């Protein structure tokens, strides 16, 4: 490996006993084991609910977020990111409470919470996230519901209105919306390409030509490697890292993609060095 400071983005973790799998797949101990075996030093973790009904309730989100923040208190290897419904009545108050408890970022999954990215009612939530310097990860890519409500192009408006708000486009739009995601990334220096499933073929897969376009247009400093754990196995992650290390780019560029840029994004909020 090119360095010993790899930081993974986009890791979902389940509470013990609630994984959809009969085995304890996706638990914190499972992630720790994968990190140890793959040489990963830090991971950005999202609290994950055990199933996906038509819409995730605010009660479910609160429960998993509180569990994550309590469990990771004092854990230096993990960066806790809370999953939120930004249009909930108490979203602003809750976000402030989460930050006091150690949250370093926000994840918004538009389909699970039925959230339209550029809903005008979310402006105060985005303003607070910008003021608190919290990176916001948005799921992008086809995932059901109305495409018009979460197409990546809508994030251009948020990035323009909140230029100091770090925005991560998870999946970079996938196959269907890659070009829209690329346009947003080119137009806004506060946006980042969250590579997830960059090697697997599927609706969220990116082809080598698309990754090359990202390197040419926004550069390695705004490309972040993530896993969508636990859907990525130890073998997947090790192979992904090996592939990136073999890309025809500089050693410094590879280090940025494999964690250095990610750690800089969360540095101001991460007090557990």
pLDDT in tens, 96-129: 999 999 999 999 999 989 999 999 999 999 999 9
The CA-atom distances, in angstroms, between 39 and each of 3, 132, 209, 219, 226 are 9, 31, 28, 25, 15
Quick check: 54 pLDDT over 60? no
| Domain annotation covers residue 271 | no
More confidently predicted of 79 and 47:
79
Q: Is 225 contained in some domain?
A: yes
Residue 44 token pair: 């950005």
How is residue 92 written in tokens? Answer: 């602003």
In a domain, 273, yes or no: no
Q: Print the domain residue range for 210.
A: 6-266
- Residue 12 is assigned to a structural domain of this protein: yes
State residue 60's pLDDT score. Answer: 84
Rounded CA separation 155/138 (Å): 9
Specify if 272 maps to a domain: no
Q: What's 227's domain CATH number? A: 3.20.20.140
Residue 18, domain member (yes or no): yes
Mean pLDDT of 188-208: 83
The domain tally of the chain equals 1
- Give the pLDDT confidence score for residue 206 in this predicted structure: 86
* 52 domain residue, yes or no: yes
The three-state DSSP-derived secondary structure of the chain is CCCCCEEEEEEEEECCCCCCCCCCCCEHHHHHHHHHHHCEEEEEEEECCCCCCCCCCHHHHHHHHHHHHHHCCCCCCEEEEEECCCCCCCHHHHHHHHHHCCCCEEEECHHHHCCCCCCHHHHHHHHHHHHCCCCEEEECCCCCCCHHHCCCCHHHHHHHHCCCCCEEEEHHHHHHHHHHHHHHHHHCCCEEEEECCCCCCCCCCCCHHHHHHHHHHCCHHHEEEEEEECCCCHHHHHHHHHHHHCCCCCHHHHHHHHHHHHHHHHCCCCCCC
Of 56 and 204, which is predicted with more confidence?
204
Mean pLDDT of 195-222: 86
Model confidence at 50: pLDDT above 60: yes
Q: What is the pLDDT of residue 22?
A: 57
- pLDDT 10s digits, 66-96: 999 999 998 989 999 999 999 999 999 999 9
Does the pLDDT of residue 216 top 70, yes or no? yes
**Would you say residue 261 lies in a domain?**
yes
What pTM did the predictor assign?
0.93
Question: Whole-angstrom Cα distance, residue 260 to residue 273?
Answer: 14
Distance CA 170, CA 109 (A): 10
Mean pLDDT of 260-270: 85
Tracing tokens 């990035």 back to the chain, one arrives at 159
Residue that wins the pLDDT comparison between 5 and 197:
5
Looking at every residue in the chain, the average pLDDT score rounds to 90
């Amino acid at each position: 490996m090119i360095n010993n400071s790899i930081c993974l983005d986009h890791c979902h973790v389940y509470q013990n006993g609630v994984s959809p799998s009969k085995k304890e797949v996706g638990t914190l101990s499972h992630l720790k084991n994968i990190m140890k075996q793959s040489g990963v030093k830090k991971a950005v973790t999202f609290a994950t609910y055990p199933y996906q009904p038509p819409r995730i309730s605010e009660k479910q989100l609160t429960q998993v977020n509180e569990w994550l923040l309590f469990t990771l208190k004092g854990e230096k290897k993990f960066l806790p990111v809370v999953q939120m419904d930004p249009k909930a009545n108490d979203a602003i108050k809750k976000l402030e409470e989460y930050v006091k408890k150690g949250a370093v970022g926000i994840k918004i999954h538009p389909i699970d919470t039925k959230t339209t990215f550029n809903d005008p009612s979310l402006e105060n939530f985005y303003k607070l996230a910008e003021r608190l310097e919290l990176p916001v990860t948005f799921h992008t890519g086809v995932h059901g519901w109305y495409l018009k409500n979460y197409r990546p192009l809508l994030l251009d408006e948020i990035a323009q209105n909140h230029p100091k708000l770090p925005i991560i486009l998870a999946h970079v739009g996938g196959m269907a919306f890659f070009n829209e995601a690329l346009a947003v990334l080119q137009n806004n220096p506060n946006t980042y390409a969250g590579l997830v499933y960059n090697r697997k073929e599927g609706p969220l897969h990116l082809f080598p030509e698309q990754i090359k376009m990202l390197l040419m247009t926004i550069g390695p400093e705004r490309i972040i490697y993530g896993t969508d754990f636990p859907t990525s196995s130890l073998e997947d992650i090790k192979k992904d890292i090996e592939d990136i290390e073999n890309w025809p780019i500089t050693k410094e560029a590879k280090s940025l993609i494999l964690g250095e840029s990610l750690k800089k994004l969360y540095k101001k909020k991460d007090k557990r060095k």
